[in-house]
């Protein structure tokens, strides 16, 4: 989603190949195979886009890549992580974002204190 830009200087749009198709198809994907390696925060940003943009979905390859590269998030300053987590938690589709964070184990990488709670039963007081 951040692969489309508008130049204020010459009032033109610029985009990478396939970006407009992605918007039309409502798909969130990495622009290049190196995107997450270059900035691991892009994993959380993709989840935020999923949480805030109605009808968008993560490309299957991106979801797999997030799960594989989840430990790279540990190189990112906490304030950048907090900003994205706040936006996810305050978004209209926060449940989708939290599910992706959980399924990819990125949630447990960010909050290791939650380890052991994933199989904790709800008892009789379920929602």
- Tell me the pLDDT of the chain averaged across its residues: 90
Instruction: Give whole-number Cα distances, 56 to 47, 71, 82, 109, in Å.
Output: 10, 25, 23, 25
Please report, for the domain that includes residue 50, its CATH number: 1.10.110.30
Using the predicted structure, report yes or no on whether residue 23 has a pLDDT greater than 60: yes
**Residue-level pLDDT at 97:** 95
* Burial class (CB within 10 angstroms; exposed 0-12, middle 13-18, buried 19+) of 57: middle
Say which residues have a Cβ less than 8 Å from residue 74's Cβ, sequence separation at least 6. Answer: 109
**Residue-level pLDDT at 49:** 95
Give the residue numbers spanning the domain of 26. 4-110
Task: Tell me, yes or no, whether 122 lies in a domain.
Answer: no
Task: Tell me, yes or no, whether 25 lies in a domain.
Answer: yes
Instruction: Indicate the pTM of the whole model.
Output: 0.83
DSSP 31: S
CA atoms of 70 and 102, how far apart (whole Å)? 11
**Residue-level pLDDT at 126:** 60
More confident: 65 or 126: 65
Q: How many domains does the chain have?
A: 1
**Residue-level pLDDT at 46:** 95
Task: Tell me, yes or no, whether 121 lies in a domain.
Answer: no
Task: Tell me, yes or no, whether 63 lies in a domain.
Answer: yes
Q: How confident is the model at residue 18 (pLDDT cuts 50, 70, 90)?
A: confident
């Amino acid at each position: 989603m951040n692969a489309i830009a508008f130049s204020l200087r010459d009032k033109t749009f610029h985009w990478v190949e396939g970006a407009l198709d992605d918007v039309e198809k409502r798909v969130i994907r990495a622009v290049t195979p190196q995107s997450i390696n270059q900035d691991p925060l892009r994993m959380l940003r993709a989840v935020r886009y999923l949480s805030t943009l109605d009808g968008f979905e993560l490309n299957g390859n991106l979801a797999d890549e997030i799960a594989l590269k989840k430990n790279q998030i540990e190189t990112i300053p906490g304030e950048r992580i907090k900003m994205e987590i706040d936006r996810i938690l305050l978004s209209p589709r926060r449940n989708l974002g939290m599910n992706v964070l959980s399924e990819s184990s990125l949630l447990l990488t960010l909050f290791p204190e939650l380890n052991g709670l994933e199989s904790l039963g709800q008892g009789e007081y379920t929602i």
